[in-house]
A and B are shown apart, each in its own frame.
Chain A
Amino acid sequence: MSKQKENYFIYADSEKCLACKSCEIACGLVHSKADLFTAVLEGYSIQPRNQVVQASGITVPMQCRHCEDAPCALVCPTGAISQKNGLVDLNRSLCIGCKGCTMVCPFGSISIKSEGKVSADTRSKRARALKCDLCIGITGEISEANCACINACPTQAISLVDSEEFRKMRMKARVMEMAAAISENEINSL
């Protein structure tokens, strides 16, 4: 039996987000494999997988949460979406752009778009599902250092969450508090 581990996901601190949308630009560019100037000059279609959203006075980028029981994977008729390697993986080559996943995603984080150079072929829009892939497609591995949005954020509001590490950190912090309380009691009882 293999060890259970939650998927990674991108988390953003709304108090640090300035809504500059640098993360959107970075995401769109990295997935288009183009730099800013090339993309602008060549008229690339740039499609960020994240979007900065403002509501009720807070601002935060939204993207795929890599759900453990992902509705998108359950409804996909072609099996393009699956649980794999610590994320909800999307195999775009299997996608037909039916939009089932966009309807069931509770975060509104899946769009059906084409990207890169614009095609003149009128038979197909070449539009397929797009969502955050934790930049795994760029380097083949999931790490904070590889995530374009994290690197682009000028206020360091965005981070990659490894739930196991996150829990460990939280538990350790609470234990440290307990330790401090115990030692204080000991001092007081002397």
Chain B
Amino acid sequence: MNKAKSADEAVISMLDVAKKAKVQTVWDRFEKQQPQCGFGTLGVCCRICWQGPCRIDPFGNGPEVGVCGANADTIVARNLIRGIAAGTAAHSDHGKHIALTLLEVSKGGAPDYSIKDEAKLMRVAELLEINVEGKDKLEIAKEVAEITIEDFSRQGEGVSCKWLTNTLPKVRVDKLAKLGVIPSNIDAAIAEIMARTHIGTDADPVNLLLGGIKGALADYTGMYLATELSDILFGTPKPVKSSVNLGVIKESAVNIAVHGHNPLLSELVCDAAMAMNEQAKQAGAAEGVNVVGVCCTGNEVLMRRGVPLATNFLSQEMPILTGALDAMVVDVQCIMPSLGKIKECYHTELITTMPTCKIPGATHIEFNTETAIESASKIVKLAIEAYKRRNVTKINIPDVKVTAYAGFSTEAIVEALGMLDPVDPLKPLIDNIVNGNIRGVAVFAGCNNPNVVQDLAFITIAKELAKSNVLMLATGCGAGAFAKAGLMTPEATLNYAGETLKAVLTAIGEANGLGGPLPLILHMGSCVDNTRAISIATALANKLGVDFDKLPVVASAPECMSEKAMAIGTATISLGFPTHLGVIPQVLGSPVVTSVLTSKIKDLTGGYFIVETDPIKAAAKLIEAIDERRAGLGI
């Protein structure tokens, strides 16, 4: 029964614990929502103005237009691009927060933060065409921050977002410019979507979708700068070995889960935890403080510090159910409000930290960059206090823990390749793609979704692609799924990779002194780090002198759920990549929107959505898309 809910062994066992404890989980709530409304499912419900709500009868017996006269195409397109705007807002708000922190650091403020990766700062300065001569690192950091903030504040459409134009192949920038979809200001692109979808504004579904593409490219911009500037402040990830799944929670430690997205918080919690280890021991926790990650914050600290990952999005309630989690600290995005309720049954402290994200039942400790370590210390102190209140009869930590390698930033991958060819690191990758040893590259991203069995589609598709010698990269909760399934290990390469892929990964691994292959799937970070994968594609495209739509590179989001996923997915099809969705997007009520997104857009950008809920069929379609590209290149 529980196997129909999740492919994760630890989650399956915890669902029995939840049932016995009469704790409602996401799966119970999902069941209670059944049947879910067909109008919403099809995207034909409009709640934009108060003449409504309106909905279109997809069977044609009832209304064909809303009160204002908007038909299904207009309604669906408006709903979709509002989702994109929200996703873009979420990602870029995170990015802006980091940019403003970098600016503070450059001015001598934000005392608990510093420039940890000067080399990265210099690379970013070069990317942004900053003249660094005679300037010290703080001056350079200030310019980097200011140029970044300009991407949020520039007025008028004349100048494009720098983080967009400077990170994509020029041919792609030109193609997007011809479509009129390049943003000049991330926040303005979001505002523009909200303005054009107001009652009685844009009614043309195609024009609306172009607005959505502009928003999605603003999302790309926000993601890119968030990742790069985080690397400057916290270090560029390097390959790291860690443990994954609920078994990383230790009975004899004060366990703190960091959950959400932004490293500004989680990095400091890790610092405070280390500093307060002795206090935890004095409170009786023999192993001191044990920080574990959940969701994308988990990926951030896993990438940079090797902090063990407890679980991914859908099973975020489970760490509390172990009865041994003393605090869960959250910042923004993908934090289920249910946590506030569930923690009432346990001793766990739920701590919110951001002014824009409070949860009934949680303790709020506001986090700001001026007093960051002070807040982080307060959080750890609350966790130690909570530890003392533990009810040992409720402790139930599943003995499920696997090894995972993470930390594969673009720099780390290029460095690993450089061991094969120090002069031209990309050459071995390109050669192996050309000779077919690597059939193509697939990037997995996105969420979990209870509409499908947790993690299962990720695992199934990856095993199929591995057999077909496809090189795989992963971010976000997809990366969490693979890590939990043991697919981010050299053993997985030996067990599942096709012969030629195995040979390539082994050659790279051995050149790097690993004594074996690279992991089957490379963990590239949190969901905001999707741009790490795109930066590799840019390097490949530039080197080959082609645009993205020629590369045998595909993307897949088998369990997409959030508005951020809508934005990222739309960005990848706009950049020219075939993008698989394993959950049916809420657009089917509009024939126009459906056909644009799944086929017509191919003529404009080269990318398109492949919607396929069957993982085996999805893998076949992804391989077909890769082969079509290979044929196009004549390889």
Contact = CB atoms under 8 A, between A and B. Distances in A.
B367 interface: no
Interface string A19-59: 11100000000000000000000000000000011100001
A154 B39 CA distance: 10
Interface of A: 16-21, 52-54, 59, 154-156
Given A52-B35, A154-B62, 8 more contacts: A16-B61, A18-B37, A18-B39, A19-B37, A19-B38, A20-B39, A53-B35, A155-B62
Contacts of A21: 35, 37
A20 B38 contact: yes
B59 A16 contact: yes
Contact of A19 (B36, B55, B61, B63): B36
A57 to B, nearest CB: 11
A155 B35 contact: no
Contacts of A17: 38
Nearest to B63: A154
Nearest to A20: B37
Contacts of B34: 54
Interface centre among A18, A155, A156 (most CB of B within 10 A): A18
A13 to B, nearest CB: 10
A155 B59 contact: yes
A156 B61 contact: yes
17 contacts: A18-B37, A18-B41, A18-B58, A19-B38, A20-B55, A21-B35, A21-B37, A52-B35, A53-B35, A54-B34, A54-B35, A59-B38, A154-B39, A154-B62, A155-B57, A155-B59, A156-B62
Please list the 3 inter-chain residue pairs (A to B) with the smallest Cβ-Cβ separation, ordered nearest first.
A18-B38, A19-B35, A54-B35
Contact of A154 (B36, B41, B55): B55
Contacts of B58: 18, 155
B316 to A, nearest CB: 27
Contacts of A19: 35-38
Interface residues of B, number: 15
Contacts of A154: 39, 55, 57, 62-63
Contacts, number: 38
A169 to B, nearest CB: 19
Contacts of A155: 57-59, 61-62
A51 to B, nearest CB: 10
A95 to B, nearest CB: 28
Contacts of B36: 19
Contacts of B35: 19, 21, 52-54, 59
Nearest to B37: A20
Contacts of A156: 57, 61-62
A16 B57 CA distance: 10
Mostly, the B contact residues are loop
Contacts of B59: 16, 155
Contacts of A54: 34-35
B227 to A, nearest CB: 41
A20 B42 CA distance: 11
A119 to B, nearest CB: 26
A21 B38 CA distance: 9
Nearest to B61: A156
Interface centre among B42, B59, B62 (most CB of A within 10 A): B59
Interface in B44-63: 55, 57-59, 61-63
A54 B35 CA distance: 6
Contacts of B62: 154-156
A23 to B, nearest CB: 12
Nearest to B59: A155
A177 to B, nearest CB: 25
A139 to B, nearest CB: 24
A155 B55 CA distance: 10
A52 B38 CA distance: 12
Interface in B25-45: 34-39, 41-42
Nearest to B38: A18
A19 B34 CA distance: 9
A18 B58 CA distance: 9
A11 B39 CA distance: 21
A21 B41 CA distance: 13
B519 to A, nearest CB: 39
Contacts of B37: 18-21
A44 B50 CA distance: 24
Contacts of B41: 18
A135 B323 CA distance: 51
Interface centre among B35, B36, B38, B58 (most CB of A within 10 A): B35
A155 B38 CA distance: 11
Contacts of A18: 37-39, 41-42, 58
A14 B76 CA distance: 24
A53 B34 CA distance: 8
Nearest to A60: B35
A52 B58 CA distance: 19
Nearest to B39: A20
Contacts of B63: 154
Nearest to A13: B59
A155 B42 CA distance: 14
Contacts of A16: 59, 61
A18 B55 CA distance: 12
A123 B35 CA distance: 36
B79 to A, nearest CB: 16
A154 B61 CA distance: 8
A19 B62 CA distance: 15
Nearest to B36: A19
A156 B62 CA distance: 7
Contacts of A59: 35, 38
A79 B89 CA distance: 63
A59 B39 CA distance: 14
A18 B63 CA distance: 14
Nearest to B56: A154
Nearest to B40: A20
Contacts of A52: 35
A54 B32 CA distance: 12
B343 to A, nearest CB: 27
Nearest to A52: B35
B36 to A, nearest CB: 7
Contacts of B39: 18, 20, 154
A129 to B, nearest CB: 24
A11 B88 CA distance: 46
Nearest to A18: B38
A19 B41 CA distance: 10
Interface centre among A53, A154, A155 (most CB of B within 10 A): A154
A188 to B, nearest CB: 37
Nearest to A19: B35
Nearest to B60: A155
A54 B55 CA distance: 21
A92 to B, nearest CB: 28
Nearest to B35: A19
